[in-house]
Structure formats: C-alpha cells, structure tokens
Chain A
C-alpha cells in the first residue's frame, strides 16, 4: 500500500497556521517584555522548527528555506549568543507574515512567492552573519543547525567522571520492514536521548523519488552520536525492541583531553536535511502536531471536523422536535399510565436540553481566537500613526459559537481600527489634556443573560457630538432644528458613508465601515450600542447571541399560520387603540406610540396569507426593532416563547426575503422565522410586496 502525502497537507496547513499564531503572540510577548524568557524563545523556535520539518516533508522548499533561516537566528537567541532587539522581533514578525502568505498560497495550490521574501531572507542572514559569540554557528543558509538541540533535554552533566567512555557513535540502519513491525526509529532516538545529548545525522541515500516512496518502508539510516558516558548495555537496551530488525554498530568515543560541556552540547553542523522530523513523512506531520499542541495548550483534545459536529447538532435538534411532539401527544392521553408517560417525558425533556447544551458547547470556542490578532494589529497601527497604545484584553476565555466567532472578526477589526485612529488622540494632545501619553484600548468580553457582550473601549477624547450633528445636518440626515438624544447622535456614526474624519487615511475615514459593522452584527442577530464621554473615551458595546443554531423566539399566530419572531428584536407588544392609528395619504398606516409614529406592517398582507381578522383592534401590535428603526407588526395572537432550532431555507430552496429561516414546531409543522432587519428594510423601501420581489430578483 502506498500513501498519498496530499492527505496530510490540510492537517499540516491547519497546524502551521495555528503554530504561526502562537509564534506571533510569543514574539509580541518578547517585544513587550524586553527581557527574553527562554521558554518564549523556545516556543518560537519550536514553531519555526516544526513548520520547517513539515514543509520539508511535503517538499515545500521555499517555506523550508525561510523557516530554516529564522530557525538559525532563533537558535542564536536561544543559546544566548545574541540578545533580542526590536529589529529582530520586527524581522521575525515579517517571517511570520511571509510564512503565513506562503502557506496560504500553497494551500490554494498557487505557490506564489511573496516579493519581499528574498530581502527578508537577506536581512535575516545579515543579522545571523553579523556574528557574535564563539562562531560555532556559520553564516548563510549552508549551515544546518542540529534540530534535536531544539528539544529541551535533560541537562545531563557530561561529567567526565566514571570510565573512559565519553559517548558512543552508533550506526543505526533500520531494516525496510521496521515500521511495519511497529517500531519507530524516531522513538528509539528519543529514547536514546534519555541517556544524554544525542546528535543524529540522517543518511537519506536510499530515499527513492517521492513518486516511488512507500511510506511503510524504512529507507533512512542514521549516524548517531551519543554524548554520555553510558555503558554498552544501556545503549543496547534502547535498541532491544528493534533487535533483528536493524543493523547496529556501536563504537565508543573515548574521552580525550578534558572537554568542556559546552563543546559537547554545541551542535555540530549536520548533513543537509538531518532532521528527526523527516525520519518518515508521516512522523513529520505528527511531530509538527505534537509540538504545536505542546506549545498551545496542555489540555488534551481531539480534532473533529465541523461537519460532524453540525450533523450531531442536527440530529439533536430533530430529537428535541420529536420529544416535544411526543409530549404534545401525551397531553391528550388519560389514565394512570399516561401520568407515568408524562413523567418520563418530562425527564426526557430535561435530558434533551442537557444534551443539546453539551453539543452546543462542543462548537464553542474562546473569543481569544479573535482577540489574538489584535495585539499585532494595534502594534502595527500604532507605529504607523505614531501613537503609543496599550492594548488590554479581558475575558479572552469567554466562549461563543464558532460560526458567530468567524463572523465577528471583521466587525471587531473595524471597531478597533476606529478606536486607534479616531478614538485615541495623538500623544501631544493627550499630554495637553493631562492624560497619560500612552493611550489604552480595552477589549472586554463577558457573558450576560444568554448573550455574549464584547466591548471595544478607548480612553480617547470621546465622540464629538457637535461635529457629528453638524456633519449629519450637512448631509441631510438630521433636520436643521431637530434636537436629538445623545444616543441617537452617536448612532449616526452607523449611517452609510458617514465619517467625521477630516483626512481620509488608509486606516479609516472613508465612511465605509461602521454601517457594515452594524449590518454584520444585526445579521448575526446581535445589537450594537455606543457610549461616549467627552474627554474620557468611547465604548462600543456589541451584544451577540451565543449561537446561530438556536434562537429564542416568540411564536405568533397570523391567520392559520404560526411565525417565529426573534425575541431579541421585540420591544413590546401592545393592543392598539383606534384613535392612535392614522393613515398617510390613505396608504401607509402609522400609529402613535408615545412620542413616535411607527409604521404598521400587516403580516398577512406582506406574506400573502388568509387573515383571521383585518381589524387592528382585534389583534396585537408587536413592536420590533432593528438597526434603531422600529415598526409595529400586526399579528393575531401571541403563543408560546421557546427556543427554536434554526433550519436554513436555502438548503433545498432559496433565501426568502423577510425570512431568516424555518423551524419545526412540536406538532411537526414548519414555522417560518421572521427576519426583522430584512423586513424593516423592505418596509422602508416602500411598504408593500413589490419591493420584496424586486429584492429577490436583485439578490
């Protein structure tokens, strides 16, 4: 059997991207801290090393080269031959970017080379060549650093005491069937490492062309040097399991004139591609994974494709529906057994909820996945704009659904950019205002009442109320003599094309952004709010649902049909009085709610179904809000409030304007979920059906 290496590519890319993220945050920790923590440098080294190993395994030679060069530099840092300077951190961050680009393009099969790759490598090599220390590390790309030196190893004092043997030279030639028999050369070498520092160089002479490679055949052999005064028996014991499966030769290294520990540990240059990670291609990927995991989190975890989880979610969703169907049936039964049945069903319901919650939690990821990109971004933006910024991240472990997480990234980037560019004043202005010249941006995430709230705050000058109002009046968004509450003024920044920036920079100011942010967030079923205090700063508060798969809904009856209105959109439900309703030009109906006039949307009319009543006084008006605009939905009656599982209409049909999806009710019927923002939008574009259809055609 031959194995197609391509099947490991995806895993390699995923691992590498994650590893690069951790390398980036470690680098940022370096630049912030000033002093180099050896563990941080080790983390960075490990990433470069495992990417190099993986890339070499798969033949992505350019990635290997850059990773290797970075690794050489990192090795100098690690062995304290060089100290961490901002320049080095910048260069290594550049390496992260370049590797990420190259990985992404390789993943898409294009393999484009970033233009600045040669300069970056040249810069790195210049620093490496600008040699300090004892010169053990050569310059340029020709030198390969012993990778096994990358592993933290027991500091075996190569004590020159006891015996004449200072170490062993071992020739280790695994038989071709060694892997098949369950032995792993890599593991043997690692075991050997327990005895002392090991330097291994691989002999890949028997390696066939990739096309002919049979990964189950072991074709590599090693020349191993063990620098420890172990006995021959100790060394042989390591290879016990492989006995008969490999050729072994042991040659003792006799202790010459007293040598220092340092020369033993300093890695001798090893022949090209001498990597334990390349010992076998499969191990390469696995090795990379192991190191990345080690660097990321100590928790044990498994990698599951999101499809499988979605499938599980669906099945659980169906179970919930079936269960409520059964409960409904049971209410119609009578007698003693029926009571027992109901008792059992009640218990089943509790268990179903618990199951549903557990499955939902599987999809939850900490928001740090999104937050992690900000330290780098804020640092770069700050440098560009000449502002000193401190970024505080709070509540990074707050969990929310993966789909929400994926969609919240871009809006948050916008908000943070805005805070950096518009929110924070320049250092001079801050000093003049008696503030700390270093501005602070805080990202705070926390759970609150079944929602997740994410706040982006800055301690800048706050929103300029007068300026916003002036601009809004210029643009005719607000009448000349209209007075607005603070909240409504601040909400103006979400109007399309609205910007108060005097100069358009490439960071922000073009006026696109905030409206997109608000739209994205309401598409997620979330809510956005701006709080600002002049001179103290601005906070943008985003409230998000925990998940997109389930929704808290209010069931309403219209004619014979049941619809679901997302609870988050409902402001209140009232019984309207005849004297509050008026119609404009005999067409659009409005009603007065305290000081506002709100349009009335007759759902039966909009959705073209048979009404039970057309008399507004016989039904209810449900006031719903989206994007700060409100309308009154005319419905017949309110039914239960319940959590519903959202099913897409697109799967087997298409998107329907005004609907966010469908769900199954307890009786097995389908109920449609109303898309409040879409509905309000279509109402505002002219109150009836034609626009909905036009929208459908344009979509």
Chain B
C-alpha cells in the first residue's frame, strides 16, 4: 500500500493502528499495515562496503532482505542482543516493486490505535535525527514516536553515502 492509500485509510477513519517497539528508553511506532512479520534474530550475512548499521542480509523465504540495526541507525548506545530482541520485517509497495527490510529493535510492545486528535508534530526546536519521524502521539499518557516507514525503507537502508536506488 502506498502512502496516499495509507493516507486515505487514515482520513476515512481519522485513525490508524501502529505497532510500537522499544529502542533504549523510547517507544516508537510504525504503521501496522506495513509490517509484514516479526521474527527472532538469527544472524545475517554481512555485506562488504556497507555502513555499520547495516548488519547484512538474510534469507526470508527466498528473498534477500537487508537488516538494519535501528539503534545504530539512530545513533543510540549499542546494546547486547537479548531474548526480546526481534527483527520487524516491514514492506512498502512502490511503483518499481515492493521493498522489504528488517529492523532490529529491543522489543515489541503494543498495538495502539492513534487518532488524529492524538497526533502532534515534532517541535521545531528539536534537532537531530528527525528525518524518519512522522510525528508524535500520546497514548495512555505515553509519548510514542511515529516513524515514517517509507523513508525508513529507502533512506535508512541505503544511507547517506550510498547509491540512490534507481527505482
């Protein structure tokens, strides 16, 4: 589903569902429609010449899927992979074909319904890694950072120094 379609779903109900996960002390959310599956961390084949946050590629039922360490990508402190560490496999359908990638996160938390009323833009004054942030939401008195999955799947993987994909 592309962005405009997602938007349409959002507009129609004013609400969309987010899967939230924990990275360090924060809770992040991504739109649940773009989550393909969640799987345990089993290691990846490292790629040469890749940025440090790209852990490598895995075989996902015959697909070669790159795996990104989101902690490293967001410049957070390194953590040991523990029993709750999971890979969230996300997918966006784009004109050139679907794009799939896995993101290593500390733990999966909840699924929340976020309505328009709960959304807030990121304060202007905030600097730093906010290119992947869609906005903030308050759910059950917690702040959830909503991520832009489309950007995550493209820029976050290819990275600043990499090749822009031709698609």
Contact = CB atoms under 8 A, between A and B. Distances in A.
Interface of A: 314-315, 317-318, 321, 561, 606-609, 647-659, 661-662, 664, 668-672, 689, 692-693, 696-697, 699
B66 A607 contact: no
Nearest to A607: B48
A699 B58 CA distance: 25
Nearest to A603: B48
B63 A654 contact: no
* Size bracket, chain B contacts: 20 to 34
A359 to B, nearest CB: 14
Nearest to B65: A652
Contacts of B45: 561, 662, 669-672
A691 to B, nearest CB: 11
Contacts of A669: 45, 59
Given A649-B47, A650-B165, A654-B158, 17 more contacts: A318-B62, A607-B49, A608-B46, A647-B64, A648-B64, A649-B57, A652-B101, A653-B64, A653-B66, A653-B157, A658-B49, A664-B59, A670-B56, A670-B59, A672-B45, A696-B163, A697-B161
6 contacts: A606-B48, A651-B64, A653-B66, A654-B163, A672-B45, A693-B49
Contacts of A672: 45, 47-48
A636 B49 CA distance: 21
The 6 closest A-B pairs by CB, nearest first: A318-B62, A607-B48, A670-B45, A653-B66, A647-B64, A662-B64
A696 B49 contact: yes
A694 to B, nearest CB: 11
Which of B48, B100, B162 has the most CB atoms of chain A within a 10 A radius of its CB? B48
A608 B58 contact: no
A662 B46 contact: no
B39 interface: no
Contact of B158 (A561, A653, A689, A693): A653
Interface in B75-106: 97, 99-101
Contacts of A656: 47-50
A662 B57 contact: yes
Contact of B62 (A317, A607, A671): A317
A647 B62 CA distance: 8
Chain A at the B interface: mostly helix, strand, loop or mixed?
mixed
A649 B48 CA distance: 12
Contacts of A662: 45, 57, 64
B64 A655 contact: no
Which of A315, A661, A672 has the most CB atoms of chain B within a 10 A radius of its CB? A672
Nearest to B45: A670
B142 interface: no
Given A651-B97, A653-B157, A670 B64 contact: yes
Contact of B61 (A318, A653, A658, A693): A318
A692 B46 contact: no
Contact of B63 (A606, A608, A651): A651
Given A652-B101, A672-B47, A699-B163, A647 B157 contact: no
Interface string B129-167: 000000000000000000000000000011001110110
Nearest to B101: A652
Contacts of A670: 44-45, 56-59, 64
Nearest to B54: A653
Given A652-B99, A656-B49, A321 B62 contact: yes
Contacts of B161: 693, 696-697
A697 B163 CA distance: 6
Interface string B32-49: 000000000000111111
Contacts of B100: 652
B35 to A, nearest CB: 15
A693 B160 CA distance: 13
Interface in B99-137: 99-101
Which of B47, B162, B166 has the most CB atoms of chain A within a 10 A radius of its CB? B47
Nearest to A562: B45
B63 to A, nearest CB: 7
B163 A649 contact: no
Nearest to B48: A607
A561 B56 CA distance: 12
A664 B62 CA distance: 7
A653 to B, nearest CB: 5
A251 to B, nearest CB: 60
A609 B63 contact: no
Contact of B49 (A608, A647, A664): A608
A314 B97 CA distance: 15
Contacts of B162: 654, 696
A443 to B, nearest CB: 34
